[in-house]
Structure 1
Amino acid sequence: MNKREILKRLLNYLFEDKKGFAIAAVFLLIAAAADVSGPWLIRIFLDDYVSKDHYPAMMLWALAIGYITVTILSGFLHYAYGIRFSRIAVSIVQTIRKKVYASIINQPLSAFDYVPAGKLVSRVTNDTESLKELYVQVVASFLQSLALITAMLTAMYLLSPTLTLVVAILLPSVVLVMYYYQRRSSDPYRESRDLLTDINGVMSESIQGMSLIQLMGQEQRFSERFASLNERHLGAEVRIVKINGIFLRPLIDLLSGIALVSLVAIFGWQGHEVIGVGVLYAFISYLGRVTEPLIELMQRLSLLQQAIMAGERLFELMDAKQHQYGEDDAPIARGDINVSDVNFSYDGTTPVLNNISVSVKEGGFLALVGHTGSGKSTLASLLMGFYPPSSGEIQLGGRPIASLSQNALRNGIALVQQDPHVLPSSFRDNVTLGRNVSDEAVWDALGLVDMADYVRELPNALNTLLGTGDVSLSAGQKQLLALARVLVDKPRILILDEATANIDSGTEERVQQALSALRHTMTIVVIAHRLSTIADADNIMVLHRGHVEEQGTHQVLLAQQGRYWQMYQLQKTRAHLKELEEQARD
């Protein structure tokens, strides 16, 4: 979209609350009429009474009371207009922020593969604030200035068409200056906004990865990177200040001064008999009130530039392609899995999975093993429907995964990730995740993963807050918590992505017993590096660089003495060496 389309789309939000906008407009028009009335009353006082040395008490009191009344009325109505319009503006920003967030969380995971989280958060927070400035400062000031200038010019024309012509010449010149300013300032403002997003993104990512930065001794390099971004941002801001310094106040003041001198010259040429002193006063007063809104509009153009840049980036997020689900909303009734000749690539060029085919019967146990980068987690993501395969087909419960609705897919298949996320909320909320689940079901799920006793010993049991500094879970406990989350709903298919990698052997054995008991109700897919955890799997698929290298049961693969046998022997050797080290320490 070009700038005009972006601005038009932003302004269209104003008319979603037509009643509120109409009320604000009425306040503004009456306020503009009150602003015009003050100098007009003084003009009457000067030309009709002072110049004629005639001072009737009743009329003078009426003029004085009228002047005070319109001044108070103008202030009150401008306040009412500002409050009303600010309320509309804040409501618009909330609407846009909600739409942006809803769009982000419904985008496919591929949209986040190459976007830093800190940069994305910065765009949403900073850009929506820029839009608030657009509505509160720019649009409100523009409408206020437009109403005031229109009222002033109308009053001027009624007083003296000749003097109005002099003032009218000023307006096209100001419009030309504004247009040229907008052209010159567009690129610096875009650069400044992009660099500010980069700065916030680097800051966010650095804080998230602070342990890694300090562990690798990279403080200096990150500081230099941050300083470089700040220097570039400073350069863009300096260019903006220079442009503002030339185009904003000086040029408008120069044009205003020319108009004022012209008014005085015409008054001196034609004389006060033709143009009264009161008319000249009114024109000078109106001229001051006209130029101030023009200067304010020029100053607001910087905010307009920022808002257009912000709107462009927010609309990119709002209009981004959403994750496409099917329309089949029937629950997944069977847990069988069929993967047929599946190929996949994240970027469309580098293959990650090549001709993957595997079948798992309902209640079966499939294990995926292989070295890092072999494609195990990618296959799990495809089974979850996070990414569509480049070619081939995946069926869950005998139905193509592409045909399943979001509700059917998320209720029928669950994934326990290697690094689960813990919410800064209660233990109960971290298990239920907003679902309508009873405490009894929560305790049952915690019991299955051997965490029930631990939670009961906490100060507030299920109401204990996590992530507040009072209770800190270990990596293994986080994985058990994530496993409890999915066991609450008892999905038809359960995928464990190294979900038992960080728990001790005793707890792992109890979890394995729980999973074995659940196998008659769900199909289990396990991604594992520790081969001892998958020895009783119905089928073990060995992946290597995206290809299926071996497939079979534990005993069959050992008998083949291929890659799986090599991995198993290596782990046995490591376990034996560790045992010898422990014996030596004892």
Structure 2
Amino acid sequence: MNKKEILIRLLKYMLADKRTLAVSCSLLLLASLADVSGPWLIRIFLDDYLANDLFPPQALWGLAAGYIGVTVASGLLHYGYGIRFSRMAVGIVQTIRKRVYSSVLKQPLSAFDFVPIGKLVSRITNDTESLKDMYVTVFATFLKTITLLTVMLGVMLMLSPMLTAVVFLLVPVVIGVMYAYQKRSSPVYRESRDLLSDINAVMSESIQGMSLIQLMAQEENFCRRFEAMTAKRLKAEMRIQRMNGFFLRPLIDLMSGVVLMALVALFGLNGTEVIGVGLLYAFINYLGRVTEPLVELMMRLALLQQAIIAGERLFELMDIKSQQYGDDEQPMQTGTIRFNQVNFSYDDKVQVIKGVDIDVKQGGFLALVGHTGSGKSTLASLMMGFYDVNAGSIELDGRPIGSLSHSSLRQGIAMVQQDPHVMSDTLRENVSLGREVSDASILKALEQAELGDFTRELAKGLDTPLGDGEIGLSAGQKQLLALARVLVEKPKILILDEATANIDSGTEDKVQRVLATLRQDMTVVVIAHRLSTIAEADQILVLHRGEVVERGNHSSLLGQKGRYWQMYELQQASAQLKELEQLAG
């Protein structure tokens, strides 16, 4: 989208609430009429009474009362306009923020494969704040300036067309300056905005990876990298300030000074017979009132540039194609899984999965093993419907995965990841995850996940804050919590992605007992590093560079003495070495 399209799209949000906009503009029009009435009343006093040495008390008291009245009315009307317009503007920003957030949540995971999290967060937060500045400040100032200029020029024409023509020369010159400023400042503001997003992204990722940075003694390197980025942004900001210092007030003040001199020169040439003192006062007053809004509007152009760039980036997020699902709302009845010659690539260049066939019946136990990068987690993501295959087909419950609706797919298949996310919320919310679930069901799920004793020891029970709250969970407790989430609404297919990789043997035994219970109601797919976890699997697939190189159960694969046998022997040797070290210790 070009700048014009972005600006029109932003304006449409403001035009959506026509009633509030109409009331605000009406108040602004009345406020502008009150603004121009004051100098008009003073002109009457100077030209009609003071110049003619006339001082009728009733008329003068009427002028004084009128002047005070229009001044008070102007203040009240401007206040009413500001409050209503600001409320409308903040509401628009909230609407855009919610739509962007909703769009991000509904995007396919492929949209996040190559986007730094810090930059994404910066867009949602900082860019929406820029839009707020545009609506609350820029558009409000623009409406105020245009309305005031229109009213003042109309009044000035009524007073003196000749003097109005002199003042009117200022308007096209200002428009030309504004155009030149916009043309020069746009690329600089874009550069500054992009650099700010990069800085925020680096800060976010550095804080998230603080332990790694300190372990690798890379503090100085990251500091130098951060200093280089901030130095680039400082240069961009200084270029902006130099442009603002040249284009904004100095040029406008110079032009208004020239117009003022022309008005005084006309007064000197024609005298009070043609141009009255009161008329000259009114025009000088109006000129000052016109100049200030123009200067303010010019200064607000900087915010407009930032807002247009922010709007472009936010609309990019809003317009990305959402995750596509099918129309079949029928809940999954079985946990059957079938892959038929599935090929997949993340970037359409390197094939991560090559010709994989899988056939698992209801209640089956499938295990996926292989070295890092062999494609295990990718197969799990394909089962979850996070990505579309490049070739071949996937069927769940005997139906093509692409035909299943969002609700059918998410209720029918669940995944427990290697490092489950724990929200900064209560234990109740961490299990229910926003679902309508009774406390009794949550407690039952925690009991089945072998977290019953842990829950009973908590003083606040289900109301205990987790994450950044009062209680921190171990790696094993996180895995059991993730299983409790699954047990609340039992799916037909459960995928465990390296769920036992970072837990102790005691917690692994608990997970095994929970899995034995779950297998009675669902199909289980386990991606395992510890081969002891999958010894009871009905079918084990050994993956290598995206291909299935061995297939069978634990005993048959050991008998083949291939890759699986090698992995098993290495793990057994490693376990024996640990036992010897413990004995020696």
**Same structural fold, with TM-score higher than 0.5 when normalized by the shorter chain:** yes
Match of 2:237 in 1: 237
Match of 1:281 in 2: 281
- Counterpart CA distance in 1 for 2:518 and 2:96 is 45
Match of 1:301 in 2: 301
1:33 Cα offset (Å): 0.5
Q: Deviations over 1:404-440 (max 9, x none)?
A: 0000000000000001100111111111111122222
Match of 2:337 in 1: 337
Letter in 2 for 1:130: S
Match of 2:412 in 1: 412
- Counterpart CA distance in 1 for 2:174 and 2:454 is 73
Match of 2:32 in 1: 32
- Counterpart CA distance in 1 for 2:378 and 2:225 is 33
Structure 1 segment 55-454 matched on structure 2, within 5 A: 55-454=55-454
- Counterpart CA distance in 1 for 2:91 and 2:222 is 39
Q: Deviations over 1:218-273 (max 9, x none)?
A: 10111011101100000000000000011001110111011001111111111210
- Counterpart CA distance in 2 for 1:564 and 1:149 is 82
Match of 2:21 in 1: 21
432-441 or 151-160, which deviates more: 432-441
Instruction: Determine if contact 2:366/2:539 at 8 Å carries over to the other structure.
Output: yes
CA 1:117–1:224: 2 relative to 1, 3 Å: same
Q: SS of the residue aligned with 1:346? A: coil
Match of 1:552 in 2: 552
Point out where structure 2 has 5 or more consecutive residues left out of the alignment: none
Letter in 1 for 2:433: L
Instruction: Determine if contact 1:328/1:404 at 8 Å carries over to the other structure.
Output: yes
Letter in 1 for 2:430: N
Letter in 2 for 1:204: S
225-234 or 441-450, which deviates more: 441-450
- Counterpart CA distance in 2 for 1:132 and 1:443 is 44
Q: SS of the residue aligned with 2:502? A: coil
448-457 or 276-285, which deviates more: 448-457
1:470 Cα offset (Å): 2.5
Q: SS of the residue aligned with 1:271? A: helix
- Counterpart CA distance in 2 for 1:8 and 1:518 is 55
- Counterpart CA distance in 2 for 1:352 and 1:434 is 35
Letter in 2 for 1:143: L
- Counterpart CA distance in 2 for 1:440 and 1:134 is 49
- Counterpart CA distance in 2 for 1:519 and 1:174 is 76
Q: SS of the residue aligned with 1:272? A: helix
Instruction: Determine if contact 1:335/1:363 at 8 Å carries over to the other structure.
Output: yes
- Counterpart CA distance in 1 for 2:446 and 2:472 is 17
- Counterpart CA distance in 2 for 1:514 and 1:52 is 102
Instruction: Determine if contact 2:425/2:469 at 8 Å carries over to the other structure.
Output: no
Q: Deviations over 1:140-163 (max 9, x none)?
A: 001001111111111111111111
- Counterpart CA distance in 2 for 1:474 and 1:517 is 23
Match of 1:510 in 2: 510
1:38 Cα offset (Å): 0.5
Instruction: Determine if contact 1:367/1:539 at 8 Å carries over to the other structure.
Output: yes
Q: How many residues align?
A: 585
1:39 Cα offset (Å): 0.5
1:454 Cα offset (Å): 1.3
1:448 Cα offset (Å): 2.3
1:469 Cα offset (Å): 4.9
- Counterpart CA distance in 2 for 1:316 and 1:565 is 50
Q: SS of the residue aligned with 1:540? A: strand
Q: SS of the residue aligned with 1:533? A: helix
Match of 1:477 in 2: 477
- Counterpart CA distance in 2 for 1:514 and 1:100 is 39
505-514 or 96-105, which deviates more: 505-514
- Counterpart CA distance in 2 for 1:178 and 1:514 is 69
TM-score (normalised: structure 2): 0.99
- Counterpart CA distance in 2 for 1:518 and 1:434 is 23
Letter in 2 for 1:82: G
Q: Deviations over 1:442-467 (max 9, x none)?
A: 22222222211111112212221112
- Counterpart CA distance in 2 for 1:351 and 1:513 is 37
Match of 2:489 in 1: 489
Letter in 2 for 1:163: L
Instruction: Determine if contact 1:145/1:294 at 8 Å carries over to the other structure.
Output: yes
Instruction: Determine if contact 1:38/1:67 at 8 Å carries over to the other structure.
Output: yes
Instruction: Determine if contact 1:369/1:376 at 8 Å carries over to the other structure.
Output: yes
420-429 or 455-464, which deviates more: 455-464
Q: Deviations over 1:271-290 (max 9, x none)?
A: 21011111111111111111
- Counterpart CA distance in 2 for 1:240 and 1:6 is 22
Asked if residue 581 in structure 1 is aligned to residue 544 in structure 2, the reply is no
Point out where structure 1 has 5 or more consecutive residues left out of the alignment: none
463-472 or 518-527, which deviates more: 463-472
Instruction: Determine if contact 1:450/1:507 at 8 Å carries over to the other structure.
Output: no
- Counterpart CA distance in 2 for 1:27 and 1:457 is 62
Q: Deviations over 1:318-341 (max 9, x none)?
A: 111110011111100111100011
CA RMSD of superposed structures (Å):
0.9
- Counterpart CA distance in 1 for 2:520 and 2:73 is 78
- Counterpart CA distance in 1 for 2:32 and 2:277 is 24
> Matched residues, percent identical?
65
Instruction: Determine if contact 1:448/1:511 at 8 Å carries over to the other structure.
Output: no
- Counterpart CA distance in 2 for 1:50 and 1:517 is 100
- Counterpart CA distance in 1 for 2:50 and 2:446 is 92
Instruction: Determine if contact 1:479/1:502 at 8 Å carries over to the other structure.
Output: no
Instruction: Determine if contact 1:476/1:501 at 8 Å carries over to the other structure.
Output: no
1:518 Cα offset (Å): 2.5
- Counterpart CA distance in 2 for 1:509 and 1:579 is 19
Q: Deviations over 1:56-91 (max 9, x none)?
A: 000000000000100110011011101110000000
Instruction: Determine if contact 2:367/2:526 at 8 Å carries over to the other structure.
Output: yes
1:117 Cα offset (Å): 0.8
Instruction: Determine if contact 2:476/2:507 at 8 Å carries over to the other structure.
Output: no
Letter in 2 for 1:363: G
Q: SS of the residue aligned with 2:284? A: helix
Match of 2:461 in 1: 461
Letter in 1 for 2:367: A
Instruction: Determine if contact 1:483/1:499 at 8 Å carries over to the other structure.
Output: no
- Counterpart CA distance in 2 for 1:277 and 1:509 is 98
- Counterpart CA distance in 2 for 1:149 and 1:174 is 13
